[in-house]
Each structure stands twice: as C-alpha cells, then as structure tokens.
Amino acid sequence: MLKSVPGLLAVALCLGASAATMYAAETIGGGSTSVFVMTNDKVKNEILTYQRGFDGQFALRRRVATGGRGSGGQTDPLQSQGALTISGDHTLLLAVNSASGRVSSFHLLNGVPVFIDQEYSDGAFPIAVTEHNGTVYVLNAGGSGAVVAFNADGLGRLHEIQNSSTFLTSLNSGASSISVSPNGQWLIVIEKATNSIDVFPVHPDGSLGAVVNNKSVTPGVFATLFTPTGQLIVSENQPNNGTDTSSISSYTINANGSLTPVSQSLPTFGNGNCWNAITPNGKWVYVDNAGTFTVAGFSIASSSALTPIANTILRTLPDGATNLDMAISGDGEYLFNLQSGAGVIGVYTINPDGTLNQLGDIEGLPKTAGFNGIAAL
C-alpha cells in the first residue's frame, strides 16, 4: 500500500506486502539513500532498512536481527536520542539492545547493514550510542548510569577499552543523549533528572576524564548534537503548562568544560521537543515537537546563533502522529521522522532555504509498538 501527498512522490511499502512485492523490495538496486529504523522488540530486536531505488521510491530492502533484545513497550520506551547511530565514515551502523544489555555493530554494504558483532555494554539498560574515529561510546541509563568506550577494529568488531567505564553524576539520572565533538575532545551526556549537560574531556586512548556538570538554565533538557564546527545544540522539552513551551539552545564549550550559551531557549512553538537533527553542512537544525505533532526548523550561523526558518513551524502532522526521533540523509537532501502513533516514517526534502517539502510516508510500521531509533545514510 502506498500513501503519498497528492501530486508528490509516493514513498511507501507496506510490511505486510505480498511475497512478490517483498521480492521486488529485496532486489531493488541503485538506492542512493537508505533509512534505518530499530524495532526495539523485546524478543528479537531488528533493523529495518528502506532504500531509495531508481524510480525514486523508498522500499523495504531488508530486515536484520541485532542478536539482542530491545525493551519492548509502546510509545518511546527508551526515551533517548541515538539508539541507532551511523559512524562518521558511514561504514558502520551501531544499535543498542536495552533488555539484553548489549550493543551491536553492522557493516554498511551498498546501504544495507550486515551483522558483525554484539558485545555487552558493561552496564544496565543501554539507550544510546555514538562514535568518533573508531571509538564507540555506549550510554547505559540503568542503575547508577555509565558511559563505556569500545574500539571498533577494521572488521567492525567491538573491543572494550580497559578501565573506560565512567559513572554519571547520580543514580537514576534519566540519561537520554550522548554525542562526541567533531574534534574528538569532548563527550556530552544529558541527564534529565538533574537537568544537566555533562561535559567529559576525552583522553587520547578514548577513556574519559572527570565530568564537568553544567546545569541548564532552561528546564527539560533532553537531546544534544554537535554542528560540524563543534557548536552544541540542545533540545529542551520544558514542562507543559498548557502552552507551547518547548525550546532549543546553542552553546560553545570552553577550555575548562564549562558551557557558554549563544542562543538561549528559542521557542519551537510546540510541546515535546525531545529530538533534533542537523544537516551535514551545518546550516539547519530541525526538531520534532512530538506533543503537538509539528516539525520546527532553525538556521545555524557560524557563531552558532540560531534563527527560525520561515515561521519556525515547517510542517504540521496529523493529530496523534507522535513524531519521535529524526534523521537526515548523508547528502543532506532528505529529513525523516519516526511517527510512532501513525505507524509511518515521514519523508521530506530539504530546500535550499531550509524549508521542507513533504514527499509522503513510508507505511507499514505497527502503531505505538515501541520502535525507537532512526538513522539515515
């Protein structure tokens, strides 16, 4: 079943398609863009790969088991950004298996993941993973909370760095996001419970130094990413008092690990801004207002100052879409968001001025089935 915006490209393949259609999806070739979604299934966690073919349509190419178990649940059970991550050189896909406490690695061959390895995360309930120059960091949210570092070898196998486990600042800290600066000098963790932005210096061997705990002035910090030039962008899901209260901020990191705000608490004119995605050229950042079913956008200046694109709200989705995590293709042409409540992946093209055109939806995902994690190549 295909579903598209009238007059625009249809971009969907139902998972329940016939065997003949599934065969066509398996053998489609020439895809220039792939988007990956993690099922987070509590029995058999899997990665679903959709790829754009010669005809311009996105089709289900393959589903691959992670070798572990997800948390299961319904809407946003991991409450994190980065459960599924692509390495900086676009050769590895990394996924967390929260229920079995493992992290999995896949080689990306022609845009399709091939399972390589799974290792224990050396902690409880891993929820997010990031990578820099072959060093992989896993964020464990359970118990005391910890970050553990691994080296990925030339085959994509993961080897834990000795004595690399680093605890967060408190028990049950509500860890939700992890990211590494482009120069590899800093690692950032968000702790929701204490409204903290933790900054860890990174040692030459990949292990972490003592944390610098920065308290966010704005409540509700949830997710953070770096721009290509090393500026920090933070999504803030402020408590909902009946108005559209979510916001976004940008920071620079000082030599001592403290943060200096550049743009503070710009409104996203929605609720539930928990995820963000930055274009590869560093010009635009998009956020999902999950609670009000909208997508907002901002331009990023060289100083990291943020300015709304157009009227801030770039797309309004159907009620109940519950748009969660989002990702941007490696060529910067497409934005994808995981709409848990609707059981679809939204597909948009990014215009030169940063505005968005909706192409349609990749259909067939079960609604509110606990899917978490999206990445694009």
The domains located in the chain, with CATH, are 3-23+30-274+328-342+361-376 (2.130.10.10)
| pLDDT recorded at residue 245 | 87
| pLDDT recorded at residue 8 | 31
Confidence category of residue 230, pLDDT binned at 50, 70, 90:
very high
Judge whether residue 96 has pLDDT over 50. yes
DSSP per position, 2-30: -EE-TTS------TT--HHHHHHHHH---
Judge whether residue 218 has pLDDT over 80. yes
pLDDT digits (tens, 9 = 90+) for 26-79: 333 344 799 999 999 999 999 999 999 888 889 999 999 999 999 999 999 999
pLDDT digits (tens, 9 = 90+) for 329-352: 999 999 999 999 999 999 999 999
| pLDDT recorded at residue 170 | 84
In sequence order, the 6+-apart residues with CB closer than 8 A to the CB of 52 are 31, 32, 33, 34, 58
**3-class DSSP assignment, residue 167:** strand
| pLDDT recorded at residue 28 | 35
Question: Out of 30-44, 195-209, 272-286, 311-325, which region has the weakest mean confidence (pLDDT)?
Answer: 30-44
Handedness of CA 213, 204, 303, 177 (dihedral sign): negative
* Mean pLDDT across 280-300: 97
Mean pLDDT for all residues in the chain: 90
pTM above 0.75, yes or no: yes
Closest to 367 (Cα-Cα) out of 19, 35, 55, 75? 75
Judge whether residue 7 has pLDDT over 70. no
Confidence category of residue 242, pLDDT binned at 50, 70, 90:
low
Report the C-alpha gap between 362 and 13 in whole angstroms: 6
Residue 241 is which amino acid? N
| pLDDT recorded at residue 307 | 98
The answer to whether 230 and 182 have CB atoms below 8 angstroms apart is yes
* Mean pLDDT across 165-183: 94
Confidence category of residue 131, pLDDT binned at 50, 70, 90:
very high
pLDDT digits (tens, 9 = 90+) for 314-327: 999 999 999 999 99
Judge whether residue 22 has pLDDT over 50. no
* Mean pLDDT across 227-254: 91
